[in-house]
Amino acid sequence: MELFSPGKINLTLDVGKKREDGYHEVETVMQTFDFGDVLCFHERRFGFELNCTQAPSEELFLIRRAYDLFCEELGSCPGVRIRLEKHLPMCSGLGGGSSNAAKVLLGLNKLYKAEFPKETLIRLASQIGSDVPFFLNGKRAVARGRGTQVQEISHSSLGYILLVNDNTKLHSQDVYEKIDEMEQEEPKTAKFIDALEKGQSVVPYISNHLEKAAFELAPNLKEIKEKLLTQGALTAHLCGSGGSLFGLFKTREEAAKAKLVFREEFVYILSI
């Protein structure tokens, strides 16, 4: 059995105060896109085997965590071999590890006919990481709390994004620690959703509170943002805590023209 594991961008990311559990209060609009990893599942008599030579240990840990929680809920440990084909840039803010973990829960549920309801899978996903519940459904949704309270919203077309990654690696913990030193910005998520529901332009409300912190840690990312805007992007922002960025364009042709100036970076054009 094979499952597609998409990446995501944050169309908004409002960061609030740090919680007692160490996480920050967030409100974010996330959206998956048609580019990502692939997970292949094979039954085996016993034991867990994961084949992937490219993924960092943190992402592999999330997959193993998903398997362990599934087994705990099931009351037994069915044997499985999982092959992970990585296509998303790693440590990039595109949610690859969280997406993989969500697809492991869905894949095991289908492979072994456990028939766990959506509520159970959401509970398990919430124990793995903040973005994991979102990837159970994907599409476009708003996530609140520490990111585990997910609600789907309108998926009307916004245009095309040019995704850019220059292989800068940022750790979420470093970015969030940096933002704690900064003044909180105005939240934009509610305004984004309101404009989306009214059929108005959402461009003024696309934002990411983590940008300033990430740009201080990696100034080259700010240069990529400025480059995207110079090439005609309607807006350009950091993905998650970095280090990928996206520029929003009206047409695929405009995005393709802008792509030509990025010669050394990973670039990809996607509709959203």
Active-site residue (options: 14, 131, 166, 188) = 131
Three-state SS letters, 231-252:
CCCCEEEECCCCCCEEEEECCH
Kind and range of the H or E run holding 39: strand 24-43
How many Cβ atoms from other residues are within 10 Å of residue 95's Cβ?
A: 29
* 111: exposed, middle or buried (Cβ count in 10 Å: 0-12, 13-18, 19+): middle
Q: Give the three-state DSSP class for 16.
A: strand
Q: How many CA atoms lie less than 13 Å away from 103 in the CB half-sphere?
A: 26
Looking at residue 92, the DSSP 8-state letter turns out to be: S
Kind and range of the H or E run holding 143: strand 140-145
Amino acid letter at 187?
P
Through-space distance between the first and last CA atoms of the chain, rounded to whole angstroms: 27
Q: Is 34 a catalytic residue?
A: no
Q: Is 18 a catalytic residue?
A: no
Active-site residue (options: 8, 86, 188, 227) = 8
- List active site positions: 8, 131
